[in-house]
Amino acid sequence: MRILIDDRPVDGLTAKRERSLILGKAQDDVTGTVLAPAEATETHVRQSNRWFTILAVIAFALMAAISIAGISYEPRDGGLIALAVVVIGGGLLLFMRLLLNHRVRTWKRRLAHRVEGLAPPGTAIRLDARGVSIGTEVFDWPSLAIESVEFTSGTLPQGDTSTDIMLVERLSLTAGAKALVLDRAMMQNGTLLVDNCWRRLHAVPA
């Protein structure tokens, strides 16, 4: 099994890396469809905008609370505090916009790869107790093997510390001479389809 983390090949998954996996809800029966590239891009941009908006609201709420506390403590410096908050807030907005643009450019640059090997847009995908169905073709679990898996890594803030996390982005499978691909961002219900397929074909430590 070929393993890539953030597009870089690694020799294998350590126990620490496996424990850092964030997987969606375990389900025995999951259905979805392959998305067209434009539809997948629209979904990706919309989700990115939502997350960055949430982060911006939280950041500005914290700055507002700090500025109010500062003005209450030293009213004479209220004007300077307000100006500092405006400058810092503007810089933060610019920084987050640059990050969002970078994320979208990275997605578009990788889009051709994510389309590779996928069934045509609109094709029904299903995972159930029998196996994986791609359109009208059914591949039983015993016939399936993971040829390659692609992860993305990141960190999740937890108070004063952070925790390493990984997501399963893409699975390339084989069923005899047949090859099939599941990509979380290129399918409706992609997270559940990819994560539950990974669960079935790879023993993840408790």
Report d(CA 206, CA 197) in Å as an integer.
17
pTM comes to 0.75
Structure tokens at 29: 């029966």
Report d(CA 127, CA 104) in Å as an integer.
30
DSSP bridge pairs for 146: 173
Return the beta strands (E) in the chain as ranges: 2-5, 8-10, 30-33, 124-127, 131-134, 137-140, 144-158, 161-175, 178-183
pLDDT along the chain (206 residues), means of 10: 93 88 93 94 80 71 68 64 68 73 80 92 96 96 95 76 87 94 95 95 61
